[in-house]
A and B are shown apart, each in its own frame.
Chain A
Amino acid sequence: MNCEDCLLQLDSWIDSQPFDGNALIEEHLIGCPECNSEAERRKLLSEQLTYLVNQPAAEVPAAKLEAIAARVTQKLDRLPDGSPTLGVHRSIRYVPGEASNQTEALKRTAGSRGIWHFGQLLLGVAAGFLLAASIFQPWTQKTDGPLISPELSLSPTNTGTSDFGTLRVAMKPLQVQLHGQDEWTSIPPNSPIPMKCRLQTDGTLCCEIEQSNGSVFRIDRDSILTIEDGDQFRLDSGRIWVEGSEKLPVEIATSDLTITATGPCNAETSAGIVELISFDEPIQVEGTTWSETLAANSAAIFDKRGLRSCRSSGADGKGNVDLILASAWIHEFLTRSSSKRQFATRLESLCDGLQGDAADDCASELRKLGAPAADALVAWLSSQQKAQIPAEARRRASELIAATASYAQAELLIDLLDDGDPVVSRNVEQGLERITGHRASPIYLKARSPAKNHWLEWWKMESSSTPNKPPSEQQNLKSAKA
């Protein structure tokens, strides 16, 4: 060993750290007076630092320590629960590695997983809510799809008082595997969810489960959740949103991170991070070694070292165009905790946002909102201020309408066909074609008759023959061929 290497590793040797080169250093020090004296100087510095840092330690009076211990006891006495697991309401563990083998055989759908499509969830749960709100639409009835097992009716008698919660909103029956059973069964909305079971959603199902204490959580598409016992459940794959109640903290754990959030919030987990969204009030967030206060109407990403990034809607309330509030709308929409008027107002502000600097964000969020967005966009384009809306914003709105509208909104779209801007008309017509499966006939195209007239005539026939019902896929195909 030469002097350079020796000096580089000298500190580790002085610190008695586990180190392979200790013998080499000692050998070098014996033969090198310069390094030896440097080692002595460093040892002295080390001793001085030890003394300096520990100086107050020798002088902690016993009375002070007793006072500290007494205060700790007092503080612990004030805690509402005496157990060390105090305050943990529930635990969500994200363990994609562990679960992958178990879940592989259960995957029934070919949909891709990995990248989270927020809009899909939104569209899905919004549709689920509409169902729950008794807006009955025959074509939204359950389809055979990949869920081939018979429905399981879980009555209170066979679940007793140990239900985990209730399936409040679901786009279609949810797959459940009861504890100790190999078979998967499906349960319809408003059924109790038993303890110790596994829940699986496929590529077309999102659902919302509510617990008796008011806590709500939503399971994304292509997710598997294991309900262990009590309030403990584990996310095996996919994603989940959690809305804690106001009083009980929610513990959220990923592979290397555990945090506790106190206050109403939505939580989303993925490997190594937890995303939290706060609503109308700030929430306290605590990691193992850190704590943060997340302001109202904010979204933040936490990792094991604490806050990684944060976005806020802004104190002026005008930042209502980003993901944060879009998520808050989902919350309001689904939990019905806020007025529909407020929801509509926020939709309007999103539409207005198509004219501003955040047009891309607005468009993205509107697309995620699905059919409710189409309603708002149609109203916006038909409003009295439509002359003041820039052409680019109008065209963008029409694209979004085409992408988000549902069959029930066909008539609204037909009204927009006589828009003065041919691009808007064409976009809307494409939307109509998408939702109805009807294509403009060659005669209509040849005659160049107004699109609105053609569509009105078609719609009149269509609605008189099959009121409020979209054509089946076969009909679509027939229409397209025609």
Chain B
Amino acid sequence: MTAPHTSDGDLSFVAEALPAFISEAQEQLASMEQLLLRLEDTPDDRDLLDALFRCAHTVKGSAGIFGLEPVVAFTHHVETLLDLLREGHVVLTPALSTLLLRCNDTIGHLVTQADDTPGDCAHRAALIAELQTYSGASTPAVAAAAPALPAAAPGIRRWHIRARFGSDTFRNGMDPLAIVRYLDRLGTVAQAMCDTTAIPALDQIEPESCYLQVTLTLQTDAGRDAIEGAFSFVRDDCQLQIDAEPTATAIAATIAAAPPVTATTAPPAKPRETPPEDGRFIRVQADRLDTVINLLGELVIAGAGASLLSRQARNSPLVEVHQQITRLIEEIRNGTLQLRMVPIGETFARFRRVVRDTASELEKDVALEIVGGETELDKSVVERIADPLMHLVRNALDHGLETPAERIALGKPAQGRLTLSACHESGSILIRIDDDGRGVRRDKVLARAWERGLVERGTIPADADILKLLFAPGFSTAEAVTNLSGRGVGMDVVKRNIEALRGTVAIHSTEGAGSRIEIRLPLTLAIIDGFLVGVEGSKFIFPLDAVVEVIESRPTATPLDPRGRSVVELRGQVLPVLSLRKLYALDSPAPERSSVVVIQSGGQRYGVMVDQLLGQHQTVIKPLGRMFRSLRGMSGSSILGNGEVALIFDVASLSLLAAEQHDSPTRTTGDAGSRIQNPSTERQTP
């Protein structure tokens, strides 16, 4: 179990385990990056420095098993310097931090790239030379050791030795005591324990047989060979096990050598020196989880169908059983969806590096603040929001924040602030990007919009509408287009991507004081709690989180306008209401009794007039078919227990739709209207 992977068995092990290694190494490198960035604020935090060293050490150790020599050789230099850092021989300066970040990137590159070009080698050699400059500038003694090669720098290590001596040991003239004393001269025996349980009772003992079993901890700079040498005369009938302290390297070597080891010398399960997190997580392939969630969606629909049938059959025991099943399905649903929830902090943390590098490239000084990183949302949403966020962050750095000189001239602190925050708000997640930069200059935006023909020259839209122009296709306000935040083609793409996630994006800005971009996203794309309502024969679903209350219908203050809008009085306040019957042209007479569902969307409330209240409904979100893509105010569809299709409202766009000027009422109804009037029992193919 000394030399890593030489046999065929080991090679196949290596091939199988390599993807896992790459993935883990990337995680370690990501941690290193985060640690380095955190260390910039507290350069002498010993815990962080230790953690940093361990990460590098783990990467190096694991790479060793897989024979990734370039990784091992390069990481060794980094590790050497990190060791000096944590010992306090070298101080972490911003320049050194930059160097280590570059080294981190290089290791990442080496891990993923199997081939090695001469250019890469030269790049690495340059980095190594820089690293050695720092190592060399420390204490002379360490400096001498620093440039040494990996094989020549094992230093003092701790070894765990376990020996069960053969019964003939004494008769062969050997003595365990003498062996231990010899080992004590090789290094220091830090701990010795003798297991005497195998010694028989005095009346049964064979005094010349050896029953001793010794466990030792030895600190020595001698190698395994030297330690084994101490046992050479008893080796034949002694069960001997020698393990280096379970550093990552040792663990890795043990794994690599495991298959060919025979039963007698196989190491027993040893507690591994891994962070506690490892025990608390299980890696699951995302598509397996998706399969479960899809099946769960089907189960929810089937459960609703069974529940409905039992109610129709008026069989109360059956209804009761179904109620219980429904409750359980709901719990499973919540639990399963929870599995896909990940904190957004990981995505936010990635921006630390982006901000750092981008700011230095633009010669700006920016402090990034992250708030609410623990806010969770669906993994698929997190993955798809990363790119739009990246664009917005870069945009803020490039266009929003000023250079230190400009800021000082404006009486602002030299260091700009960029805040990324996240929080939950009525069933959705709200992500904000705030900066205290120059804000959006309306006059420039308007001039550009006139120039581009986005707005008729001379007209001045409302303030909020001017800001919306930023998201118009082909818009850019930067006089000099930089290579950072793109060429103005990004913002409309950002908006489209966010809307594809059933989200919204809005910008608020005060000239001279900064901007705030708000992104609102649904927590999940799969299943939600819905509130089912009926209008005529059609069923609609509101996300339950958006429903504030339900009130009995009351006379409207004004007759409904052609888009079905009016206002009612609620507890002394005016509440705008919207008649679905009118909006979607469901031509049937209004029933005697109706209700108003009060919806909260963003900062505003409005009521929706409906015929029937059908209660809470577990809603499996299915995408709208191609025919209904153009249907506005809707975010998806769902299949009810009886096979009927219900449309799910997007409360934000419904409110916008209701607020729009009365210009093209047919646009929203059209062929969708007839479909809504005839709820089909056929299931829509997603």
Partners in one complex: no
